[in-house]
Chain A
Amino acid sequence: MSVHPPSWPDRFLAWYCNPELLEEIQGDAHELYFERLKHEGKRSADLKYVWDVLRFFRWSNIKRENEYLPGSLGAHWGLNFKMSVRNAGKNKLIFGVKTLGLSICLAFSILLAAFIVNELTFDQFNSNYDRIYRVALKINFKDHVTNYAVSPLPIGEALKEDIPEIQNYFRFMYEDKPIFRIDENVFYEEATLAADSNFLKVLTFDFIKGDPYSLNGPDKIVLTETLAAKFFGDEDPLGKSVEFGQSFLLEVTGVIKDVPANSHLQFDALISWETFERDDAWGNLNAYNYILLKPGATIEEVKKKMPSVMEAYNEMILRDYDATFETIFQKITDIHFSEYQDEDIAQKRNKSHLFILIAVVVLFLMTGVINYLNLTLAELTANSKKLEF
């Protein structure tokens, strides 16, 4: 037989068709093909054959009915489901107890897992989180060593000028006892930072109103969504005035979404750096300084190129305090789990506590699953005795 149906639709049919139906379907299609070949010619027979193959392409011919595929909704799955529903109905108490136990166990585990994930992803909402470092200090006094989270006010700028790997820096100070006054209302519980204009450019916060340039210039304030609602209710806060302390009148220039719970810095308001007169001296150890590396740069390169200005500073420390100091670079994502530092305002947690919690969750989950399996197996054994297997 030299003539046969076009081969590509034939292969397509053999590929999609359920093997159990292939013989009869292909047989019928071929029979029709040869009949048409006799009466209508090859071209028409070919075209109609392709059309038939396409028309046979439907789910009832494709699906493999009696084949067991793990995880598929095949016949076995339906059977198992039916059996489990019937067994559940038969032993309602055991089913209730074990399902409730497993549900509570899973719910608790998922809740704790969410907390653990939150802890382990601290500060990762910043788009450049792998390039942001905090500049901290370790001061070696004669008889003791103290770690400080703060560093001298000019250090960020000095590092940026002398080290080409550093792309940007920002600094802020913590306002100890802020007092805000709006008309007659006084607020004094808000965590407030005095941040320079780079703060909002390096860190990633979502703006509702305003932009990352909102802290440029003196007498500006950026509020979080919650604080803006607290201060002004439903009114548009942009451009409104807020009295701060005794002598400052600030203009609201931006509103950001509330600081994410997994940020090591928690604050309600940011006041622009230029609002206040600062003693911009190396002896003023009160600012939190952060640097942003250029893409591809490593912190080791920065450490190697610590500028000569630091030597002068070290001499001053040695003279005034009889101590030496080291600059410590802390990756922003490591701050949450870092050890205690003086003057730190970061949210911190001991990493070993977190590991203990993880162990507890795993143990809890195992207990729950074993309990479930135990009850199921006990039930199964009882049933098989009844059936005399």
Chain B
Amino acid sequence: MTTKGNYLGEFEELVLLSATSLTDQAYGVSIMQDIIKETGRNVNISAVHEVLKRLERKGYLKSKMGGATQERGGRRKRYFILTASGKKTLEEAMKLKIQLYKRVPNFSLKPI
């Protein structure tokens, strides 16, 4: 399966960061709720699944099925963990942005 370049899309970056911050509790619903809570956006679960699949294909996330659960009818959750290449990509994305912001003269990140 090929991927369209190795850069991160905006929503991909959000999901990747959210999955990272949730450490060992990162699965579809928790990531979605985290993003809704932090950004206030209206996010659909299917979009989150789509991006998670894509990030795993690009090698930024690893996944494994968790144990059986009591809620959700005994269905298992798929947990996502950041990979080394995912970490590197996140850092590079951050670095690139800071580098670009620094070029702007007299630019303040504080709200006016």
Which of chain A's residues has its CB closest to B69's CB? Answer: A27
Cβ of A379 under 8 Å from chain B? no
The residues of B that contact A56 with a CB separation of less than 8 Å are 45-46, 49
B49 touches A28 (CB 8 A): yes
B75 touches A60 (CB 8 A): no
Cβ of A34 under 8 Å from chain B? yes
* Stretch from A18-26, A160-168, A181-189 that touches the partner: A18-26
Which of chain B's residues has its CB closest to A31's CB? Answer: B72
The residues of A that contact B49 with a CB separation of less than 8 Å are 24-25, 28, 56, 61
Cβ of A46 under 8 Å from chain B? no
Chain B CB within 10 Å, residue with most, of A26, A29, A52: A29
A55 touches B47 (CB 8 A): yes
The residues of A that contact B29 with a CB separation of less than 8 Å are 28, 31-32
Knowing A24-B28, A24-B65, A60-B53, the reply to whether A30 touches B75 (Cβ < 8 A) is yes
Knowing A56-B49, A60-B50, the reply to whether A27 touches B44 (Cβ < 8 A) is no
Chain B CB within 10 Å, residue with most, of A25, A27, A34, A56: A27
Cβ of A294 under 8 Å from chain B? no
CB under 8 Å from chain B, chain A span 251-275 = none
B26-52: CB near A (< 8 Å → 1, else 0) gives: 011100000000000000111101100
Cβ of A303 under 8 Å from chain B? no
CB under 8 Å from chain B, chain A span 43-93 = 51-52, 55-56, 58, 60-61
A27 touches B45 (CB 8 A): no
A52 touches B46 (CB 8 A): yes
The residues of B that contact A31 with a CB separation of less than 8 Å are 29, 71-72
A27 touches B76 (CB 8 A): yes
Cβ of B87 under 8 Å from chain A? no
Number of interface residues of A (CB under 8 A): 18
Nearest chain B CB to A14's CB is how many angstroms away? 12
The residues of B that contact A26 with a CB separation of less than 8 Å are 73, 75
B77 touches A24 (CB 8 A): yes
Cβ of B88 under 8 Å from chain A? no
Which of chain A's residues has its CB closest to B63's CB? Answer: A24
Nearest chain B CB to A57's CB is how many angstroms away? 8
CB under 8 Å from chain A, chain B span 64-81 = 65, 69, 71-73, 75-78
A30 touches B46 (CB 8 A): no
Partner of B27, one of A28, A30, A34, A58: A28
Which of chain B's residues has its CB closest to A57's CB? Answer: B46
Which of chain A's residues has its CB closest to B50's CB? Answer: A60
B75 touches A27 (CB 8 A): yes
**Cα-based distance from A53 to B75 in the complex (angstroms):** 17
Partner of B72, one of A27, A52, A55, A60: A27
**Cα-based distance from A25 to B27 in the complex (angstroms):** 11
The residues of B that contact A30 with a CB separation of less than 8 Å are 72-73, 75
Which of chain B's residues has its CB closest to A75's CB? Answer: B1
The residues of B that contact A32 with a CB separation of less than 8 Å are 29, 45
**Cα-based distance from A158 to B75 in the complex (angstroms):** 87
Knowing A24-B77, A24-B78, A27-B77, the reply to whether A58 touches B46 (Cβ < 8 A) is yes
The residues of B that contact A55 with a CB separation of less than 8 Å are 44-47
**Cα-based distance from A28 to B73 in the complex (angstroms):** 10
Partner of A52, one of B44, B65, B75: B44
**Cα-based distance from A296 to B49 in the complex (angstroms):** 64
**Cα-based distance from A203 to B89 in the complex (angstroms):** 76
Chain B positions near chain A (C-beta within 8 angstroms): 27-29, 44-47, 49-50, 53, 65, 69, 71-73, 75-78
Q: List 14 A-B contacts (CB under 8 A).
A: A23-B75, A24-B27, A24-B49, A24-B76, A24-B77, A27-B72, A28-B27, A28-B29, A29-B45, A31-B71, A34-B72, A51-B44, A52-B45, A55-B46
Excluding A30-B75, A58-B46, 10 further A-B contacts by CB distance (< 8 Å) are A24-B65, A24-B75, A24-B77, A27-B77, A29-B45, A51-B44, A52-B45, A55-B44, A56-B45, A60-B53
